[in-house]
Amino acid sequence: MATHVIVVENRSDWTAELPDQLVVTAADYIAGKHYAGTRGVKVINLCRSYRYLSVGYYCSLLAEARRHRVIPSVRTVLELSRKPIYELAAEDFDDSLQRLLRRREEPSLSLTILLGHCADPVFRELARQLFELFPCPMLRVELRRNSERWRLHRIRAQQLTSLSRGERALLQEALSAYLGRRWRSPPARTPARYDLAILQNPGEKLPPSNRRALQAFVRAGKRLGVDVELIARSDFSRLPEFDALFIRETTRIGDHTFRFARKAEAEGMVVIDDPDSILRCTNKVFLAELLAASGVPTPRTVIVQKERLPQVEQQLGFPVVLKIPDGAFSLGVHKARDRSELQTIGNRLLEHSELILAQEYLYTDYDWRIGILNRQPLYACQYFMSGSHWQIVKHGARGGVSEGDSRAVAIEQAPDSVVQTALRAANLIGDGLYGVDVKQNDSGVFVIEVNDNPSIDAGVEDEVLRERLYLAILEEFVRRLNRNKWR
């Protein structure tokens, strides 16, 4: 089994001979042929596009779920997708940029960077640093000089098919050298103060925390000597004023919640939800692959591409649940009762994403939610299905929402199999705050999903712990702040 895998959309995209590597198509890699159960694989994703929910995006996403080491990572893909994000990521590069280009007099520069190499040796150090900052196999970088200072004007992923013959030869040479290196993660930065910002949206229909819960966090902060301030999207520029960020607005990749998390991390703040947790939990396809690869029990699940949609009937039967990758609060989750609904719903969802999820339908009267903080169980809650509906949250045709009842349970009274299974799932994501949804029936315990931004509402999740729930969460922020202070 090869330890190096080059993924391309079409085999004709890559013609070079590299005997120690294996070139596979994106379709084969997504389908899991030969690689899904193998760890330690290094994946070079050379797909034609990495745009959100594209085939290239999913190759990187599934590589991370399979514990493969992949470039570009999903985080790099997202950083390159929007100028405000990559400008933020490049802030620490500014001093190096001025130093490396201080003697250049032309108004602009354009560079093609291939795994940290470029054709002109004059820019070798610049290419290396930009690749360290944005680890993507092929980069096109535009730099401009303004008022005697250079700035990063634009950076984007380069397509393999657009490379010249000379650039392809350089890529092959760079690839041979690169695959011999050890892969590492960038070091974290450290904060130094004790002010906590809670990002929230007063206009959100289904926020992760209601108004009473947010005020409970403020009161808990006062008891712990932490100044808690509620902030909104418009406060992005104020983020460096704080030491920690707690996101209490529904997280989505590509919107301001992810930018807040990324900015907070870059500033050395303690942040929940951290960017990696958002990336891993927001996409259900990633979660399905991660849980399956780690042996965590889930309903039978199939990752579906358009051409494989008809096979779902034979694999899972009916009814079957179809999910978009990044839905929240039951949005984008549909039940197909027969072949006709499978085709209609599936085709509609596949118009917006290259992949969707098909899952075995398991009905239970309620779902368990186990809240987990820093790899320890925190609370347990039962969410009952909405009246005359198969989901906890029912979304009406006109935008109305109805929810089923709920009941908090002392964590020690929840079934041990439910709690332990939830812990296994959450520990695959990280050490943040997670809510793991679990179904339990006569056949066993099954994880439905892991939420990076779990609901903490006054009158629901806090029914058992009351004020202790809010104190426990803020105490974890204090613990992390104290730990970082003395590093």
Give the pLDDT confidence of 403-437 residue by residue, as tens digits.
Answer: 778 899 999 999 999 999 999 999 999 999 999 99
* Token code pair at residue 269: 């703040």
CA distances from 362 to 301, 302, 336, 391, 443 (A): 12, 15, 13, 11, 10
Query: Which DSSP letter does residue 67 get?
Result: T
Residue 305 has pLDDT above 50, yes or no: yes
The span from the CA of 277 to the CA of 432, in Å, is: 8
- Phi and psi at 81, nearest 5°, equal -80, -25
CB-CB contact of 136 with 86 (8 Å) = no
* C-alpha closest to that of 250 among 242, 258, 262: 258
pTM of model > 0.75: no
With 0-12 / 13-18 / 19 or more C-beta atoms within 10 angstroms meaning exposed / middle / buried, residue 398 is exposed
pLDDT of residue 313: 92
Residue 329 has pLDDT above 50, yes or no: no
Residue 245: pLDDT band by 50, 70, 90 thresholds? very high
**Coil vs helix vs strand at 459:** coil
The span from the CA of 70 to the CA of 29, in Å, is: 12
Query: Which DSSP letter does residue 412 get?
Result: G
pLDDT of residue 437: 95
The span from the CA of 267 to the CA of 272, in Å, is: 14
CB-CB contact of 177 with 227 (8 Å) = no
Mean pLDDT (whole number) for 446-456: 95
CB-CB contact of 390 with 400 (8 Å) = no
Peptide linkage before 120 cis (omega within 30 of 0): no
E-state strands within 283-375: 301-304, 320-323, 333-336, 356-360, 366-373
The DSSP result for 253-273, as a single string, is TTSHHHHHHHHHHHTT-EEES
Residue 65 has pLDDT above 80, yes or no: yes
Give the pLDDT confidence of 164-212 residue by residue, as tens digits.
Answer: 888 888 988 888 887 766 555 444 443 335 799 999 999 998 899 999 9
Residue 89 has pLDDT above 90, yes or no: no
Share of the chain above pLDDT 90, in %: 54
Peptide linkage before 191 cis (omega within 30 of 0): no
β-bridge partners, 52:
none
Q: Are strands 108-114 and 444-451 parallel, antiparallel or unpaired?
A: unpaired
* C-alpha closest to that of 31 among 325, 307, 333: 307
pLDDT of residue 182: 56
The DSSP result for 116-135, as a single string, is TB-SSGGGHHHHHHHHHHS-
The span from the CA of 110 to the CA of 342, in Å, is: 48
Residue 255: pLDDT band by 50, 70, 90 thresholds? confident
E-state strands within 240-365: 244-247, 270-272, 301-304, 320-323, 333-336, 356-360
Give the pLDDT confidence of 285-299 residue by residue, as tens digits.
Answer: 899 999 999 999 999
| Phi-psi sector, 317: left (phi>0), alpha (psi -120 to 50), beta | left
Give the pLDDT confidence of 102-129 residue by residue, as tens digits.
Answer: 888 889 999 999 999 998 888 888 898 8
Contacts of 20 (CB under 8 A, 6+ apart): 2, 4, 179
CA angle 231, 198, 74 (to 5 degrees): 105
Give the chain's radius of gyration (CA, Å).
24
* Token code pair at residue 271: 């942040």
CB-CB contact of 204 with 455 (8 Å) = no
* C-alpha closest to that of 52 among 60, 64, 44: 60
Domains by residue range for the chain, with CATH: 4-74 (3.40.250), 78-178 (3.30.470), 300-360 (3.30.1490.20), 363-485 (3.30.470.20)
